[in-house]
Amino acid sequence: MDDRVSTWLKDLGLDQYREVFQQQAVTWDVLPELNDQDLIALGVLLGHRKKLLRAIAQLSPRPVSIDEASAPITGKEEPAPALSGQDQGERRQLTVMFCDLAGSTALACRLDPEDLQTAIRGFLDACSQAIGRFNGYIAKYMGDGLLAYFGYPQAHEHDAERAVHAGLAVLELVKVLPRDHPFPERFDPAVRIGIATGPVMVGELIGTATAKERSVFGETPNLAARLQGLAAPNQLIVDSATKRLVGGEFEFADHGTFALKGFSTPVQAWRALRSKPSASRFESSRAGRMSSFVGREHETALLMGRWREAADGEGQVVLLSGEAGIGKSRLIRYVSDRLAGSAHALVQFQCSPHHTDTALYPAITALRQMTGMTGEDGAETQRQKLHDLMAAIGLDDPMAVALIAELMGMSADGLQRMPPLSPERRKDLTLEALVRSVHRLADRSPLLFVVEDAHWLDPTTLDFLTRMIDRIQQMHVLLVITFRPDFKPMWADSSHVTCLSLNRFPRRQSAELIAEMTRGKALPPEVQQAVLVKTDGIPLYIEELTENLLASGMLTEGTDSFSLNAQSTDLAIPDSLQALLMERIDRLGSAKDLVQIGAAIGREFDYELLREAVDLEESQLEQALRRLVTSGIIFQEGDLPNAKFQFKHALLQDAAYHTLPRKSRRSLHARLASALEGKFAERVKAEPELLAYHYEQAGLIRPAVEYRRLAARRDAERSADIEALSHFNKALALLKELPEGPDRDALELDLLIARGAPMVTLKGYASDDIERNYRRAGELSKEDSLSDQHFLAVWGLWVFHLVRGPLARASDLAETLLSLAHRRQVPDLLVRAHESAGSTDSFIGRFDEAKTHLEAATTDPRPCRSHALPYTQDPGITARIMLARTLWIMGEVDRVEPLVSEAIGKARDLAHPFTLAFTLATTAWISSMLRDAKRTLELAEEAIAISTKYSFEVARAWAISSQGWALARNGDEKGLARLREGLAATQATGAALNNTYTLALLAESYLRYGRIDEGLGAVAEAQRLAATQDERFWTAELSRLTGELLLGRADPPIGAAEQCFQEALTVARSQRAVMLEFRAATSLARLLKTVNRSEDARRLLGAVRSRFNKQADCVDLQDAQAVFDQLRM
């Protein structure tokens, strides 16, 4: 066996494992790679595993000192194996400590150089002991001071906390230094310490020969040094980041805000006073930040059931397991809150990662909290507080009280004198005293006894718990022990013990927790999705990531929701989770490099691609992968060489990936891109975005843009518009990094034109983004005005102004389209140009011109999906819909239904979701004009379903309005609210098109329910829009509706109403809007009959009625016939 391993084990007092280490070939270079699972496999006991893991963490590169003589004397130091990555640095979060001997200059003037060396060595030795105890790494000795890292080369879950503990320990050790190290002259050392936490670049070897050291770069070490300068002798000063990370574990005093050299903003400094052991780490870390309880109904019911059994005298034990952050402590807090209204007692043992070798540390801490002892209490006060607690509990055995007092480190004065006892007998009696204390307490009131984080148990507390569990069935106690999955409890087989494992939240409960964190305000969908994906249903991750997001400046808070004001939804790992994640990654030793490569590939990666990216023999790769799977970092699906792997948590992948320096990342991504392109052609064809990502991360922009474009076009063809738009946006953002010139302009133009369609379907025609997109495309294409791309750019601006207004601008652009199409004589362009001109004329109220253009646009009977893609919907189908609407207004009612049926049929055949949604929504308009509520409702509801599925906002809004009208017409007054909802949703997209018609439907519905003033308000708003937007196709109907509403008043103004009907007739006749003229004539005839002018009414209505085919039939004709029949009576 390697003599160094044997000696190392002997120095640790664990020589009994020498033989098994030798049998399993554990050599010195293998030691740093051992983890908890490896030690379990070797048969190492829990307490010894903890001790070994701490010692292994110290096997880091030898700290650099100014010379061997000035370094602290801490025993023989062996060379440590190289770190993973060797001389390459890493990006990571680090807690940095600077400490130095205060007044050393004056001391140097007073002491002989040799005595000065002895004094400083003693001081540095004390610092080294304290820092090593809390797993710090001394990076450099600097004369009378040192630089230490917490979180490198081995991260630990609570590195910031460890650093503050170490700093306070240094202060205490320095106080007793003169007592333990006699000096030739009086020497009263004092120390100044500064601690800061933040991102750094650490670990790269710089320098040559003996001057080599592992560097650290970033703001954090500078801040720690500045904070040290703010400290008075024997003070420990920390920054706000460190204070935030340690939660309520320490007491701090505000040290002030300072303008520090090199820092652009003032820095808040805090003085660490003392540790503040809490009943629960969860309570201290989440103080003031606890969200409402979500989910866990089954688990809560089980615990409450066990509580009822325990309260009845049948003691119960629940072993509550789950990974870090899964919600064990939160569940216990919720159950405890549920019990608040009933008589019960609560005892909490909080195990500590810093005290796994401190016998009964959780019991001591709990007793101090239960007695209310403080650091300022004198011996007599402490004894009295203990006596009061024991009396309250009912423990009157003087020997037991004395043993508990001794356990708590209290003076024996005034207590029962104990006979001489062996250590084993003293331990046995002490544990018995603790068990009896719990029993007595539970006799007075049922007891909830909680032991948190049993994976950090010391062996003696483990013994105490075993005794408790053996006897608990006769107690009124529910004992709940929480732990992580790597802890293997020995009590699971007892009948009164229940094992309960917490699983991750399902998506629904994760979303509920996010909503709690945002106070019910909705996150942007893409941000919500990013949070859900990153956090994997782990409640702590959800809370921390959401809290970090809300404070990041990425979001703007509105009344009911948040909006995204950043281009990227990349979410940084919260500081509070960095150490927790990095600890797991650092445990992997040399396999960590493989994790980083896997992380660069993605959350999921396969063996074949990984093999191409690593410089390992296949046997080495397979061995390393087995280790990663065993560690729980990744999962494996299938057998090699066809295996696929997945990171257990998305945040673990992020943490591993972000340790890589940018240069290494770029090189790795370039290698992956090359491997994909050269050996995985089918995969690249199916997933071009994968190659785009790797090229982008490698800094190779042109191929990244090309593959993004391929991915966008693929998704657009599948109507996956959200994904398509995302790819187009990423491609255009990358494009800015290419040099300016004709090639870049051509590529940008192509991307802009292609992006238009998915942008319209998702954001609506009237979005500002649409105008910007097509205006830029027009600028890029104007030099080649006869190109298809310039035509498409003009069309994009036309559709924006058609829907947004004013229609006069849309009319000008439609004329431009006609001119371009006629010059090109391309059938597709002519169809689109005529459809554009006809639609514009129809909404303006130029129905004859509209009819001419729309009939020209319907000459091609074949719908074509390629037509739809660049224009958002098929132009021939759109032309048929607009022609049907126009013909109905012009009174050619017998042509309407065939055109509508043809349009819907072609849309279904096309298999283009947006064309179908648009067709259904706009033909619902026609059905509402025909006053066919049943058909309107059918079309609207199908349009809503499709639009909701594909996020077609404007089509959905239009359809909701039609649905509301149909419901209201069928007698459901709730339809009014639905109609208003659709109108508001339409306006929210920026769309003004057809809003005059929607407001008319609303006014008509108000009239139906006798809400006259609201109806008149709706008409007035529609008339205002008609004037400002040039949307005059429904002007005659607005005047008619005004008259009908006036007649609905209790004292109707007959003259004013008649004037409205006459205005409607005049406008309808000027527009050749025969059906609107007919409606106006019917309303006026009805009015004239009431004032005894039946002859005038018959003459008016008969003249209009005669212009319709006798076979024509619709609701309006039926209404007119009924009025006409009454006039003949």
- DSSP string spanning 156-179? -TTHHHHHHHHHHHHHHHHHTHHH
Question: Which 3-state string (H, E, C) describes 736-802?
Answer: CCCCCCHHHHHHHHHHHHHHHHHHHHHHCCCCHHHHHHHHHHHHHHHHHCCCHHHHHHHHHHHHHHH
Which whole number is the average pLDDT over 639-666? Answer: 89
- On average, the pLDDT of the chain sits at 86
Euclidean distance between CA atoms 1043 and 1055, whole angstroms: 10
Contacts of 148 (CB under 8 A, 6+ apart): 96, 97, 99, 131, 136, 137, 138, 139, 163, 166
Residue among 478, 522, 520, 480 nearest 499 (CA): 480
Residue 630, amino acid = T
* pLDDT score at 869: 44
* pLDDT score at 185: 63
Q: Which domain holds residue 643?
A: 573-660
Classify residue 64 by its DSSP letter.
B
Which whole number is the average pLDDT over 129-154? Answer: 89
* pLDDT score at 1119: 79
The answer to whether residues 758 and 870 touch, using CB atoms and an 8 Å cutoff, is no
Same-domain status, 444 and 484: yes
User: Is 630 within a domain?
Assistant: yes
Q: Is the pLDDT of residue 83 over 50?
A: no
Same-domain status, 367 and 468: yes
Q: Is the pLDDT of residue 75 over 50?
A: no
Contacts of 795 (CB under 8 A, 6+ apart): 774, 817, 832, 836, 871
Classify residue 864 by its DSSP letter.
-
Euclidean distance between CA atoms 852 and 922, whole angstroms: 20
Same-domain status, 512 and 489: no
Q: Which residue has the higher pLDDT, 527 or 283?
A: 527
Portion of the chain with pLDDT greater than 90, in percent: 48
User: Is 1005 within a domain?
Assistant: no
Query: What is the SS3 assignment for 346?
Result: strand
Which whole number is the average pLDDT over 333-340? Answer: 91
Q: Which residue has the higher pLDDT, 932 or 865?
A: 932
User: Among 459, 486, 501, where does a domain finish?
Assistant: 501
Query: What is the SS3 assignment for 217?
Result: strand
Residue 990, amino acid = G
Render pLDDT for 978-1027 as a digit per residue (tens, 0 to 9): 999 999 999 999 999 999 999 999 999 999 999 999 999 999 999 999 99
Beta strands in 113-258 (DSSP E): 137-142, 145-150, 191-206, 213-217, 235-239, 250-258
Q: Which residue has the higher pLDDT, 555 or 281?
A: 555
Query: What is the SS3 assignment for 872?
Result: coil
Q: Provide the H-helix boundaries in 911-994.
A: 913-929, 933-950, 953-969, 974-988
* pLDDT score at 1112: 63
The answer to whether residues 931 and 1075 touch, using CB atoms and an 8 Å cutoff, is no
User: Among 39, 56, 73, where does a domain finish?
Assistant: 56
Same-domain status, 302 and 401: yes
With bands split at pLDDT 50, 70 and 90, how would you rate the model's confidence at 785?
confident
User: Is 684 within a domain?
Assistant: no
Contacts of 1080 (CB under 8 A, 6+ apart): 1036, 1039, 1040, 1061, 1064, 1065, 1068
Residue at token pair 């954090």 = 220
Q: Is the pLDDT of residue 794 over 60?
A: yes
User: Is 190 within a domain?
Assistant: yes
* pLDDT score at 184: 57
The structural domain count of the chain equals: 7
Portion of the chain with pLDDT greater than 70, in percent: 91
Mean pLDDT is highest, among 345-354, 654-663, 1070-1079, for 1070-1079
Render pLDDT for 393-429 as a digit per residue (tens, 0 to 9): 888 888 888 888 888 877 666 666 777 878 888 889 9
User: Is 736 within a domain?
Assistant: no
Enter the tokens of residue 578.
């960095």
Same-domain status, 252 and 314: no
With bands split at pLDDT 50, 70 and 90, how would you rate the model's confidence at 8?
confident
**Beta-carbon neighbour count of residue 839 at 10 Å?**
29
The answer to whether residues 940 and 910 touch, using CB atoms and an 8 Å cutoff, is no
Which whole number is the average pLDDT over 573-581? Answer: 82
Contacts of 1106 (CB under 8 A, 6+ apart): none
Please, what is the end-to-end C-alpha distance for the chain in angstroms? 121
**Beta-carbon neighbour count of residue 571 at 10 Å?**
21
Number of alpha carbons in the 13 Å side-chain half-sphere of residue 865: 10
Euclidean distance between CA atoms 12 and 835, whole angstroms: 87
Residue among 153, 149, 173 nearest 163 (CA): 149
Same-domain status, 269 and 128: yes
**Crossing angle between the packed helical segments 459-471 and 361-371, to the nearest 10 degrees:** 70
User: Is 270 within a domain?
Assistant: yes
Euclidean distance between CA atoms 34 and 566, whole angstroms: 43
Same-domain status, 406 and 472: yes
Q: Is the pLDDT of residue 29 over 70?
A: no
Report the CATH number at residue 1071: 1.25.40.10
Report the CATH number at residue 156: 3.30.70.1230
Same-domain status, 141 and 116: yes
The answer to whether residues 258 and 269 touch, using CB atoms and an 8 Å cutoff, is yes
Same-domain status, 265 and 387: no
* pLDDT score at 1111: 60
User: Is 335 within a domain?
Assistant: yes
Torsions phi, psi for 527 (to 5 deg): -75, -45
Residue at token pair 């969200």 = 291
Report the CATH number at residue 380: 3.40.50
With bands split at pLDDT 50, 70 and 90, how would you rate the model's confidence at 870?
low
Residue 922, amino acid = T
Report the CATH number at residue 16: 1.10.150.50
Classify residue 646 by its DSSP letter.
E
Where is average pLDDT lowest: 208-222, 701-715, 834-848, 1004-1018?
Answer: 208-222
Q: Is the pLDDT of residue 36 over 80?
A: no
Euclidean distance between CA atoms 771 and 787, whole angstroms: 20
User: Is 285 within a domain?
Assistant: no
* pLDDT score at 1040: 96
User: Among 240, 275, 310, where does a domain finish?
Assistant: 275
* pLDDT score at 864: 45
Same-domain status, 539 and 450: no
Render pLDDT for 1032-1090 as a digit per residue (tens, 0 to 9): 999 999 999 999 999 999 999 999 999 999 999 999 999 999 999 999 999 998 898 88
Residue 772, amino acid = R
Euclidean distance between CA atoms 269 and 445, whole angstroms: 46
Torsions phi, psi for 799 (to 5 deg): -65, -35
* pLDDT score at 860: 67
Enter the tokens of residue 612.
């191409």
Angle CA(1033)–CA(1034)–CA(1038) in degrees, nearest 5? 150
Euclidean distance between CA atoms 136 and 57, whole angstroms: 9
Q: Is the pLDDT of residue 282 over 60?
A: no
* pLDDT score at 1041: 97
Q: Write the DSSP string, 1086-1111.
A: HHHHHTT-HHHHHHHHHHHHTTS-TT
Q: Is the pLDDT of residue 792 over 50?
A: yes
Query: How far, CA to CA in Å, does 277 sit from each of 131, 165, 247, 706, 724?
Result: 20, 11, 11, 58, 53
Euclidean distance between CA atoms 330 and 334, whole angstroms: 6
Question: Which 3-state string (H, E, C) describes 20-58?
Answer: HHHHCCCCCCCHHHCCHHHHHHCCCCHHHHHHHHHHHHC
Q: Which residue has the higher pLDDT, 67 or 889?
A: 889
* pLDDT score at 868: 42
Q: Is the pLDDT of residue 783 over 80?
A: no
Contacts of 636 (CB under 8 A, 6+ apart): 625, 629, 643, 644, 645
Residue 128, amino acid = S
Reduced DSSP (H G I as helix, E B as strand, rest coil) percent helix, strand, coil of the chain, to 5: 60, 10, 30
Same-domain status, 589 and 643: yes
Query: What is the SS3 assignment for 450?
Result: strand
Q: Is the pLDDT of residue 66 over 90?
A: no
Report the CATH number at residue 616: 1.10.10.10
Same-domain status, 207 and 348: no
